[in-house]
Amino acid sequence: MIALLARDLRLAVRAGGGFGLGLAFFLLVAVIVPLGVGPEPAILAKIAPGILWVGALLSCLLSLDRIFALDFEDGSLDLLATSPMPLEGVVAMKALAHWLVTGLPLVMVAPVLALLLNLPLAGYGWLVISLAAGTPALSVIGAFGAALTVGLKRGGLLMSLLVLPLYMPTLIFGAEVVKRGLAGMDVGTPLALLAGITAGAVALLPFAAAAAIRVNLR
């Protein structure tokens, strides 16, 4: 299991692995939005939590189809499925590797990009906390979507259509945490729901994803 995590991380950081792709996309979103909306600091400060969360979500989406598709194409997925590792564990490790490569860097650069969007200072802490609590769910839900569409020719678009609606609760509560934090209100409820979605997804979806892969490999 640890070997699989190490392998996936190594594959991600070597040439063509896509490490940093999501990060660059996140940066571009944060740069492009002020160009479109205009430079008024008040407007930017108001929309910053939502834009940052949508940006994080889209950059996560960008690299999802790599989770299983590459292993399917070169035959590794067949061999992983016949190896002694439980397929549920394979899914969980691959989702964890995806989060370490995509989600965690997003959490870490988010404060810098928040500066570009003129997020008020009070929101920085809540932004990082909400992203840290929410992005693992994005990776696990994404791994489930990737498992459903593995083996389909050009299944990337279909996967986006399947996954984006499933991302909505995380987006709603994640952005809500930051907005409430900014307004000085109690963030307990949305933060608990956000963490609950993550915990539920991490606990249940690897089983669903493994079942989907078994069907797709037949």
What does the binding site for another protein look like in residue numbers (CB under 8 A)? 2-4, 7, 10-11, 14-17, 71, 74-76, 78-85, 217-218
CB of 204 or CB of 215, closer to another protein: 215
Helices (H), 63-103: 66-73, 76-81, 87-98
The Cα 48–Cα 44 span in angstroms is 6
Least separation in angstroms between residue 11's CB and another protein is 6
- The helix/strand/coil state of 173 is helix
Least separation in angstroms between residue 149's CB and another protein is 18
Least separation in angstroms between residue 86's CB and another protein is 12
CB of 37 or CB of 81, closer to another protein: 81
By C-alpha distance, which of 136, 122, 133, 138 is closest to 180?
122
CB of 58 or CB of 81, closer to another protein: 81
Least separation in angstroms between residue 106's CB and another protein is 24
Question: Around Cβ 180, how many Cβ atoms within 10 Å?
Answer: 20
CB of 18 or CB of 120, closer to another protein: 18
Give me 177's structure tokens: 């945490």
67 near 101, Cβ under 8 Å? Answer: no
